[in-house]
Chain A
Amino acid sequence: MSLAKRIIPCLDVADGRVVKGVQFVDIRDAGDPVEVARRYDAEGADEITFLDITATSDNRDTIIHVVEQVAEQVFIPLTVGGGVRSIDDVRRLLNAGADKVAINSAAIFNPEFVKEASDKVGSQCIVVAIDAKRVNAEGEADKWEIFTHGGRKETGIDALEWAIKMVDYGAGEILLTSMDRDGTKIGFDLDLTRAITDAVNVPVIASGGVGNLDHLAEGVTKGHADAVLAASIFHFAEYTVNEAKQHMAGYGIEVRL
């Protein structure tokens, strides 16, 4: 008996539709978010994450509406991220039915925002999303830094130090994406995942690079992740969530079947 490792399908949402791009370009339409979320729930997803990849103040209401509709029909935890910049954004998403809100670039511009948000709504509702890229040359010690703008803009912030700081500021969970791997389908950056997971005392969700079911299992067995997130392998029906869980169970990983 123990806590199950979570499998989290991620829906990138743009203008109210699910899309999936490769390294944030070449975006393909993958359907209606409510329908997709229902399918994942039926397949046994442990949680669903929505990332509003076109979030601007103009289309804020679109994602709120999506969350409301999903929360009326899907009774598993929902995390929503993308363009979350203010306490008002956090509150509106939680009131719409999100259980957790992911904060990404706003935390970089203003780390105090994470403190303020976790203080107001509780750490359990605040996920800090970290987009990291390896910056060391081959043969040098491992080093990753935080990048913004879909991995294009460097910040010079060390990813490991950042994760520790964000937990100290009240993050209840870390959503860790390798920008080197995102969309590549060659597997998680396991060194990055393990380095961050072992360094913090809150759950870490590994993200970026899943191309097959072995990758998901490795995220847990080698990356020590508490949860694994994937988008495209589920969207285009290459695998169902249930198949993923069966596969992970075969590795001796505790999953909810």
Chain B
Amino acid sequence: MSLIAVVDYGMGNLRSVSKAIEHVAKNSDQVIVTSNPEDINNADHVVFPGQGAARDCMQELKARHLADVVLKAAAEKPFLGICMGMQVLLAHSEENQGVDCLNLFQGDVHRFSNEMLDDEGLKLKVPHMGWNQVHWAIEHPLLQNIEQDSRFYFVHSYYADPSDAGIIAARTQYGIDFVCALAKNNVMAVQFHPEKSAADGLQLLKNFCHWNGQP
């Protein structure tokens, strides 16, 4: 049995994430949505979701004394960052006139330009919302039974730009070729929402539940 903790720091509804994980976890696994540092320290797997603005996310993490707890989990056990939970792993976000983030990974978070055009010359909308293809740059246990270039559901206006190209796990094309997944040791972080990405999303979450943290 494995204890899977979904970190709750007051940024959006986590029910979808926890329900999706419950749907694919083993019967013996326990899924908890928690803001209690002790629970997170005791968990075998940690999921770090999040939506909303970078400034609010960082404020809430600090107010709940969870920043160090999250970094500790990311240093030692299978860890999955989702959406905002990916972005705040970087050093800095340009959202809200600039916000210092957790700095697990060097690099910045930028906003999509409003001036991007598609192949037909029509304006690309921001947020980038909908199902886009994910092109994986690595092989990884979390990708088992997921085809290259499968589509996942995205909704975001900002994207991660890590300094270390060695941690780039996948890219997606939207006006630019942006980094949509990062992987290093026991950490995987994705910009898209696996909990909203139908069968492939569920497969990724299932792989995560079974993952021992070895890349």
A121 at the interface (CB under 8 A from B): yes
A97 to B126 CA separation, bound complex (whole angstroms): 24
- Interface segment among B114-122, B138-146, B162-170, B207-215: the answer is B114-122
B94 at the interface (CB under 8 A from A): no
A46 at the interface (CB under 8 A from B): yes
> What 0/1 pattern do residues 7 to 19 of B give for CB contact below 8 A with A?
0000011011001
B98 at the interface (CB under 8 A from A): no
A173 to B172 CA separation, bound complex (whole angstroms): 21
Tell me which residues across on chain A come within 8 A of B135, comparing CB atoms. Answer: 1
Tell me which residues across on chain B come within 8 A of A99, comparing CB atoms. Answer: 16, 155, 196
B51 at the interface (CB under 8 A from A): yes
Measured CB to CB, the nearest residue on chain A to B171 is A1
Determine if A2 and B132 form an interchain contact, defined as CB atoms under 8 angstroms apart: yes
B65 at the interface (CB under 8 A from A): no
Determine if A75 and B129 form an interchain contact, defined as CB atoms under 8 angstroms apart: no
Measured CB to CB, the nearest residue on chain B to A98 is B13
Tell me which residues across on chain B come within 8 A of A96, comparing CB atoms. Answer: 15
Which of A3, A72, A173, A202 is in CB contact (< 8 Å) with B19?
A72
Determine if B174 and A202 form an interchain contact, defined as CB atoms under 8 angstroms apart: no
Measured CB to CB, the nearest residue on chain B to A74 is B198
Determine if A1 and B149 form an interchain contact, defined as CB atoms under 8 angstroms apart: yes
Tell me which residues across on chain A come within 8 A of B110, comparing CB atoms. Answer: none
> What 0/1 pattern do residues 91 to 129 of B give for CB contact below 8 A with A?
000000000000000000000001000110011111111
Given contacts A97-B13, A121-B12, contact A172 B127 (CB under 8 A): yes
Determine if B127 and A124 form an interchain contact, defined as CB atoms under 8 angstroms apart: yes
B3 at the interface (CB under 8 A from A): no
Determine if B16 and A201 form an interchain contact, defined as CB atoms under 8 angstroms apart: no
Determine if B19 and A97 form an interchain contact, defined as CB atoms under 8 angstroms apart: yes
Determine if B131 and A124 form an interchain contact, defined as CB atoms under 8 angstroms apart: no
Given contacts A173-B129, A201-B125, contact A1 B202 (CB under 8 A): no
B48 at the interface (CB under 8 A from A): no
Main secondary structure of the interface of B (DSSP, over half): mixed
Within 8 A of B (CB), among A165-218: 172-173, 198, 201-203
A94 at the interface (CB under 8 A from B): yes
| Best-buried of B129, B149, B201 by chain A (most CB within 10 Å) | B129
Tell me which residues across on chain B come within 8 A of A226, comparing CB atoms. Answer: 125, 129-130
Measured CB to CB, the nearest residue on chain B to A94 is B13
Which of A3, A121, A173 is in CB contact (< 8 Å) with B131?
A3
Measured CB to CB, the nearest residue on chain B to A77 is B196
Measured CB to CB, the nearest residue on chain A to B135 is A1
Determine if A76 and B125 form an interchain contact, defined as CB atoms under 8 angstroms apart: no
B197 at the interface (CB under 8 A from A): yes
A144 to B23 CA separation, bound complex (whole angstroms): 46
Tell me which residues across on chain A come within 8 A of B137, comparing CB atoms. Answer: none
Within 8 A of B (CB), among A1-19: 1-6
B100 smallest CB distance to A (angstroms): 21
Tell me which residues across on chain A come within 8 A of B155, comparing CB atoms. Answer: 77, 99, 124
Q: Which 6 A-B pairs have the closest CB atoms?
A: A256-B131, A1-B173, A4-B131, A256-B151, A3-B132, A1-B133
On B, residues with C-beta under 8 Å from A are: 12-13, 15-16, 19-20, 23, 51-53, 114, 118-119, 122-133, 135, 149, 151, 153, 155-157, 172-174, 195-198, 201-202
Question: What are 8 of the A-B contact pairs (CB < 8 Å)?
Answer: A1-B132, A1-B172, A1-B173, A75-B198, A95-B13, A95-B15, A99-B155, A124-B155
On A, residues with C-beta under 8 Å from B are: 1-6, 41, 46, 71-72, 75-77, 94-97, 99, 121-125, 172-173, 198, 201-203, 224, 226-227, 256
